[in-house]
Amino acid sequence: MAENASTVASAFDQELEQVRGELARLITEALNLEVAPQDIRPDAPLYGDGLGLDSIDILEIALVVARHYGIQLKADSDENHRIFRSLDSLARYVVQARA
């Protein structure tokens, strides 16, 4: 049983890592950021001090995520602050939404 849980966790971690990389690339391309995708820290805030994005940038990211992953993000959702807190939180949301 523990082996099975370990395999599931490993698959989740692998998918999470892949989605993080894809999202970093999508974000830098969509927003024409002058930062390499691999230089975006997974835990750095997307707003303010981290990447310095504003609400318009976040809307653009939501559109890109919707097109690329087929996941609809609602502009008025109370969860958006949590979802868009960092690259990692966005990637976790995408992986869980696709499951």
At residue 78, the pLDDT reads: 87
Query: What is the C-alpha to C-alpha distance for residues 51 and 99, in angstroms, rounded to an integer?
Result: 28
pLDDT of residue 5: 57
Q: Is 70 left (phi over 0), alpha (psi -120 to 50) or beta?
A: left
pLDDT on residue 6: 65
Give the total number of structural domains in the chain. Answer: 1
Calpha distance 77→12 (Å, rounded): 25
SS3 94: helix
pLDDT tens by residue, the chain, 99 residues: 555 656 656 888 999 999 999 999 999 999 999 999 999 999 999 988 888 899 899 999 999 999 999 998 887 888 989 999 999 999 999 999 987
Stated pTM of the model: 0.87
What CATH number is associated with residue 43?
1.10.1200.10
Containing structural domain, residue 68 = 2-98
